[in-house]
Amino acid sequence: MVFSLILMSLAIQRHFHQPYAKDHFNYYLLWVISAIYVTYIASTLLLDYILFKAANEKIISLLKLFIGGTVVQLLVVQTAFWVNTIHFSVGLPNPRMAACVSETIFRIYTIYATFCFIEEIKTEENMKSGFRDLTDYEVDEFYNGHDQISLTTNLDAETVKYMHGKYRKEKFGIFLSDLEIDTGAPLGCGAYSIVYRALLSRVNDDNKVPVAVKMTNPLSSNVEHFKTLLCELKVMTWIGNHENIVNLIGACTEDIKKRKLYIVLELCAFGNFQNYLKSQRGTFVDLTEFPTYHGSHVSLDINNDEDLTSTKDLVKWAKEIADGMDFLESRKVVHGDLAARNVLLTEQRVAKITDFGLPRQLYNYEVYMKTQVSPLPWRWLALEAILDKRFSTQSDVWSYGVTIWELFQLGEIPWLGCEFSLEFVNELERGKTLEKPKYATQEIYQIMLNCWEKTPGRRPTFKALSDTFQSIYQHLNHEQSTR
């Protein structure tokens, strides 16, 4: 660079001794061009210092300043060179032209290299923060499986096999063009995903099927959270269908490299139980207030209005939730976050469990706790889950007890007014439990207490819970039919 500018400066110096230099305009023009060359040398030294500092400290703003300054430099010195060449009729080609062209090529390459370095810095920052695209290896890992086990070893061998196996795209693949997503009003929102209502077009079928679409948000879900959703999708592909879980219809995985995923699920028109039960508080029929529940006559016929929610419905839904959890247990799946907000209600008023492929089940829980932004759902967690991070079917039974407490309290938040603290955990260890819900009998409350046994092995199974609520439901039906 310095050599090139010295050649140009010497050439201008010779111009000063030419006859045309006696012309005032040409004389001042030569001085301007000379000043530009000198300024170019000084500014280049400054920009090179900026580049050295920015490259060492990886400061993107300074790298951008270097690029901008270099571009301005090139434009100015190129203008000066060609004005000098054309105005003073310098013959071409000549050594000065070769020097100028070589200098320009070098500077353009430097700009390109700086751009690439900026992208590397951004990629490195994204890798650290997790907000990056999936690598080709990670995409291939999802589609074709891998042999490395990165999950916790307490998972069942069959679960590990499916988690690390191939994604069955031929069975569950859906094209995004087949979905008409209504993004007007979401059905539900999570920390890293949003659920919308949509219409699914089927091959050789003019009728469009109403579905729910769970969409990821690349701006709020980092790679680890996104890969957890991919694991959840894989879990759902091999679990199979059941009446009391939200069944998978398919998924659009065309753009997972950009952290975009569309999981197509059954549509549950009434939403989650927490919100639904709150909406029923004004019209709820409490059968426990009537003598019929204890064997006497009652004059109210709740079957005259199918939309009317009563104690009998709560018992039915408690049984259905137990059936769904029993099915998940048979498929070696631990839910990890069973709560009324994660149980949905269909248009036919059937309870269905959702969100059963969560990271507490699939990944190291301590890592999950450190990366999770939303508060830990301690109100529903079993004692051993809080103390030792141990999740199992028995800890799900504890959460089931809290969930049916929510049902019989019509969507009230458990432990309302309490704060998570060491004192709260100590009280749980000493046997503190939630009080009897307003709309539960002592018999139903005792079922909840059994679910909250301190020793996991003493808690009832989901099959036993289902049978118990089936018996209560039949008793209610019998008393209604004999009145």
Binding residues: 214
The C-alpha atoms of residue 395 and residue 345 are separated, in whole angstroms, by 24
Two structure tokens written together for 20 = 């045309």
- Run of H or E residues at 189: strand 188-189
- Residue ranges for the known binding site for ATP are 214
Two structure tokens written together for 469 = 């609520």
Q: Are 402 and 396 in contact (CB under 8 A)?
A: no
- Partners of 214 in the β-ladder: 195, 263
How does DSSP classify residue 285?
Answer: B
Q: Are 107 and 73 in contact (CB under 8 A)?
A: yes
In the annotation, is 337 catalytic? yes
Q: Which of 349, 455, 346, 449 is nearest to 400 (CA)?
A: 449
Residue-wise DSSP of 236-271? HHHH---TTB--EEEEE-TTGGGT--EEEE---TT-
Beta strand extents in 268-380 (DSSP E only): 343-345, 351-353
Two structure tokens written together for 374 = 């939303």
Q: CA of 312: how far to CAs of 284, 400, 411, 474, in Å?
A: 11, 18, 16, 9
Which 3 state secondary structure label does DSSP give 418?
Answer: coil
Helix segments in 332-412, DSSP class H: 359-362, 365-371, 383-388, 393-408
- Partners of 262 in the β-ladder: 215, 252
Instruction: Tell the residue number behind the tokens 């069973």, with chain if given.
Output: 338
The C-alpha atoms of residue 16 and residue 403 are separated, in whole angstroms, by 93
Q: Are 30 and 21 in contact (CB under 8 A)?
A: yes
What lies within 8 Å, CB to CB, of 308 at 6+ separation is 283, 285, 302
Q: How many CB atoms lie within 10 A of CB 267?
A: 21
Given the residues 313, 337, 355, 396, the one annotated as active site? 337
Active site residues: 337
